[in-house]
């Protein structure tokens, strides 16, 4: 599944100057990519994600829906949906509250995502433990289910890039 033989670009996207989208990528709808962003091969950019200028993505990375990648950020692991990721090394910094509000998310949904964020990214426990805590203590809205499913997919890969698993499975066959 990682080797599409083509790059697919969705609708309603806005790409600024000098953006590079490599081979076998999927860019879904409503994505905004600022100047000079470099996207390696086999990446998946999910709907309504947003990139600051000069960010760079390692091949096989998935950038989750409604996320924001800060400018000059080096991405070598999957970006969880609904989150702001920035830095080098990249870290999940907060919920993309401004982007979510602009896309019509209610304050209740954003508040729930913030509670999940605190559990998932501020405790010093293994991600599997944090996911279990979210499941047992928060309402399982569609957004929370999608966030947890995304994190579980990423956890399957020792590189932190869920799409890369297809590469290794193909070599085993």
Catalytic residues: 23-24, 41
Give the sign of the dihedral formed by CA 55, CA 31, CA 159, CA 40. negative
- CA 30, CA 36: separation in Å to the nearest integer? 18
Dihedral sign computed on CA atoms, order 121, 126, 132, 137: negative
Phi, psi of 160 (to 5 degrees): 85, 15
């Amino acid at each position: 599944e990682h080797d599409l033989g083509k790059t697919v670009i969705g609708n309603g996207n806005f790409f600024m100057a000098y953006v590079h989208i490599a081979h076998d990528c999927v860019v879904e709808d409503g994505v905004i990519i600022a100047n000079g962003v470099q996207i390696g091969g086999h990446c998946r950019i999910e709907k309504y994600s947003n990139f600051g200028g000069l960010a760079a993505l390692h091949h096989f990375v998935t950038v989750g829906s409604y996320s924001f990648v800060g400018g000059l950020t080096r991405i070598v692991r999957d970006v969880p949906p609904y989150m702001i990721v920035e830095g080098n090394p990249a870290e999940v910094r907060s919920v993309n509250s401004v982007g979510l509000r602009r896309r019509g998310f209610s304050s209740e949904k954003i508040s729930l995502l913030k509670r999940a964020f605190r559990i998932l990214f501020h405790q010093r426990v293994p991600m599997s433990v944090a996911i279990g805590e979210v499941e047992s203590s928060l309402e399982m809205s569609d957004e929370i289910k999608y966030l947890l499913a995304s994190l579980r997919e990423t956890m399957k890969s020792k590189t932190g890039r869920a799409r890369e698993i297809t590469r290794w499975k193909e070599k085993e066959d």
